[in-house]
Amino acid sequence: MIFLAEIIKLTIDGKVIETEKGATILEAARENGIYIPSLCHDDCVEVYGACGICVVEAEGVPKLLRACATKAADGMTINTRTKRVISSRKIALELLMSDHTGDCKAPCSLNCPAGTDCQGYVGLIANGEYDEALKLIKDKIPLPASIGRICPHPCEKNCRRRLVEEPVAIAYLKAFAADTDLEKSEPWLPEKATDTGKTVSVIGGGPGGLSAAYYLLIAGHRVRVYDMMPKMGGMLRYGIPQYRLPKEILDREISLIEKLGAELINNVRIGSDITLEEIKDKSDAVLVTIGAWKSSEMRIPGEKTDRVIGGIDFLREVSLGNPPEIGKRVAVCGGGNTAMDACRTAVRLGAEEVYIIYRRTRAEMPADELEVTEAEEEGVVFRFLQNPTEILGETGRVTGIRLQKMKLGEPDASGRRSPVPTDDFEELSLDTVIMAIGQKTDAEGFEMLNKTRWGTIAADENTFMTNIKGVFAAGDATNKGADIAVSAIGEAGKAAAVIDAYLSGKEISIKKPYYVSREVTAEDLKDRERRERPVMPQLSAEERKNNFKEIVHGYPKEDAVAEAMRCLECGCREFFKCRLLKTANEYDIVPERLKGEKISRFDGNSNEFIERNPDKCILCGLCVRSCSEVAGKTALGLVGRGFETYVAPAFNLPLDKTSCNNCGLCVRLCPTGALTERSGFKKQVPVEETSEDVLCTLCDRGCTVTVVKSGGRTIRVVPADEGSRNCVFGRDGLIKGFVKDLQ
């Protein structure tokens, strides 16, 4: 006799649904495509209701209900997103996060303005997987060979390897992966979505505009890029000297974006050749990325004298093949990377005496330390604690500069000590003065867009929309003004995502995601082996200072792999699968308001296959319950009471001394990175892989799995048939306990 299940009806978020009698609210919702978050529930174990994230509100019921533990009733009306529900989930998540210690993302990635997965691509290079590394880089940076050469690498400033000896050469490794790809006859191109029929016009072909074009093309849109200069590249072409970034490299990267389908239109000035309104009328969306092309002025007497040149103007003319006459004695005013580029370019143009004039000391210079050192090697003289007060000249031409000596005062808003004038002055004889103290936006032709008090284009910082609907703006031309190239690329990627949504009729706002991070000191890393950074092959000062040949030669493969293997792998390996982090970012949580004492429980109690970190545990109980209820083992349990409670092996024994058979089910179910697979070994050279099908011994179902070996070591186990794919233990790539017998 067949018994039909009794069907009941209930309403969830205004939607009438059906489910079998006896199902929980959570089960009923999931069966009907309604999302209710949960961190402690899985179908393979009994209901526990520990996390409190799945609460819902039922009409007529005064208290909130835990959806995973409450049976659905006929006629019930449930709301999953009321103010009360959201508040309760938020507090629960804040409590969990207030005692959650770790690193969601590596500090290098957190400090990259483009959000590049530095740890990911460095790890791939360490394993010799250069193609995969390139693809991961291009997910955030479409011009990696160029950016890898010129970026001041804020990622490296946050690299924890610096606490051991030196930071990992993240930027050089980026360039290595990109160069390896460019050497192929057919460099990698991403797949494009189906043509949407929508057209986006990008105004400005610099790093931001080209990056936005790349992402919009991948999304299936048609893209036109307008630029006022003879060639695309913006400041990468006209603001970075050839010896740092060979334009042949830039050309090859731009050609790949053109091959994706970008229509590149040069020598077009907005306002004279075509108006912004005309571009808008023939586009579905417009993105303005015009950069900051005007050199800032010092506003001192004599600044209009002949041979007083702006830093950006000077570099642009040299790049165009029209180097200005600069004479034998040149002073560059400024302390940033543009000033370094200008002084080193002046050396290469034949100037016999080149000075950097900077009103603070070397310690406060914003320029990259390597740039400063190499400028000194090339003969540039640094005059610190001096500030120009007047350009001296005769018959309208520069003859020198009057300098006021400074001393350092208290730190200003930037954290640097402020320069304070003294009563001492001196004069310096010169032929040319180059002002490299900053850049401004030239917004001529964009009068219809609102401006900030700095003269930049006003754009919403989360949606990039200007005051005109459908016209967006990003990069150096907006809000606070000029920044490094990778920042413009980061903004362009976000703007492209917003524009893609806009073209499909959606409105989204980019907000900074929530991540857990921790402080690490040199003391914490004192046990790490010191491994010095490989020396980058490059031209000596004598070889390079009279020409524009590229200075660095790039890492050979052996050095690139060795350097990548210095990475400490700080970020959580479960980052992309962490349900705790995903759920936390669905709510506007502020765990700091519940901040209290954190108890560190990390004891390194791991084994060959499974790594444990109790500091990331949220006491969901899934590992303990799955070990007992499914695997029939008692390897893990709850220890202590109240705030002191934590999960540990029985009697705090090492995992290898418990009943654990390394089935990996606890790893699969863990909603955080508290239980992870042991980090895969890194191979310096590819090793031939072999595979064989064997009978799984974890239960008596008789499933077949494929055991993949490399170099005699099992590296992954893959379900070989449909039966094993449905197994509760099944997890592609997990090293299963039973393979110990196969080693």
Which pLDDT score, from 0 to 100, does residue 286 have? 98
Strand partners of residue 555: none
Token pair belonging to 31: 């069966």
Q: What is the CATH number of the domain that holds 18?
A: 3.10.20.740
Strand partners of residue 20: 7
Which pLDDT score, from 0 to 100, does residue 664 have? 83
Integer Rg of the chain from CA: 30
Question: 650, 677, 704: which is the final residue of a domain?
Answer: 677
Token pair belonging to 254: 């731009």
Token pair belonging to 326: 């600069």
Residue ranges of the chain with pLDDT lower than 70? 1-4, 602-606, 679-689, 697-702, 708-743
**Whether residue 310 is found in the same domain as residue 429:** yes
Q: Decide if 284 is inside a domain.
A: yes
Print the domain residue range for 38: 7-81
Q: Decide if 349 is inside a domain.
A: yes
Q: DSSP secondary-structure letter at 255?
A: H
Question: 420, 440, 460: which is the final residue of a domain?
Answer: 440
3 state DSSP class of 77: strand
CB 441 within 8 Å of CB 435 = no
Q: What distances in angstroms separate CA 161 from CA 95, 127, 383, one per listed residue? A: 32, 19, 33
Token pair belonging to 364: 């406060």
CB 28 within 8 Å of CB 10 = yes
**Whether residue 426 is found in the same domain as residue 308:** yes
Q: Decide if 89 is inside a domain.
A: no
Q: Decide if 17 is inside a domain.
A: yes
Q: DSSP secondary-structure letter at 457?
A: B
Strand partners of residue 57: 79
* Contacts of residue 641, Cβ cutoff 8 Å, sequence gap at least 6: none
Q: Decide if 345 is inside a domain.
A: yes
Which pLDDT score, from 0 to 100, does residue 699 have? 60
**Whether residue 302 is found in the same domain as residue 336:** yes
**Whether residue 313 is found in the same domain as residue 435:** yes
Q: Decide if 144 is inside a domain.
A: yes
Q: What is the CATH number of the domain that holds 158?
A: 1.10.1060.10
**Whether residue 324 is found in the same domain as residue 421:** yes
3 state DSSP class of 418: strand
**Whether residue 198 is found in the same domain as residue 324:** no
Which pLDDT score, from 0 to 100, does residue 602 have? 66
**Whether residue 301 is found in the same domain as residue 435:** yes
Which pLDDT score, from 0 to 100, does residue 707 have? 74
**Which phi and psi angles does 513 have, rounded to 5°?**
-70, 160
**Whether residue 343 is found in the same domain as residue 405:** yes
pLDDT tens, residue by residue, 603-634: 656 677 788 888 899 999 999 999 888 888 88
Question: Rounded distance, CA 108 to CA 121, Å?
Answer: 12
Question: Rounded distance, CA 28 to CA 17, Å?
Answer: 8
Which pLDDT score, from 0 to 100, does residue 738 have? 43
Angle between helices 337-348 and 311-319 (to 10 degrees): 50
Question: 408, 440, 472: which is the final residue of a domain?
Answer: 440
**Whether residue 119 is found in the same domain as residue 182:** yes
Strand pairing class (432-435; 381-384): unpaired
**Whether residue 321 is found in the same domain as residue 420:** yes
Q: What is the CATH number of the domain that holds 466?
A: 3.50.50.60
Q: Decide if 92 is inside a domain.
A: no
Indicate the helix (H) or strand (E) that contains 90: helix 83-98
3 state DSSP class of 515: coil
Residue type, 234: G
**Whether residue 635 is found in the same domain as residue 543:** no
- Give the number of domains in the chain: 6
Q: What is the CATH number of the domain that holds 624?
A: 3.30.70.20
Q: Decide if 86 is inside a domain.
A: no
Q: What is the CATH number of the domain that holds 726?
A: 2.20.25
**Whether residue 560 is found in the same domain as residue 632:** no
Which pLDDT score, from 0 to 100, does residue 685 have? 37
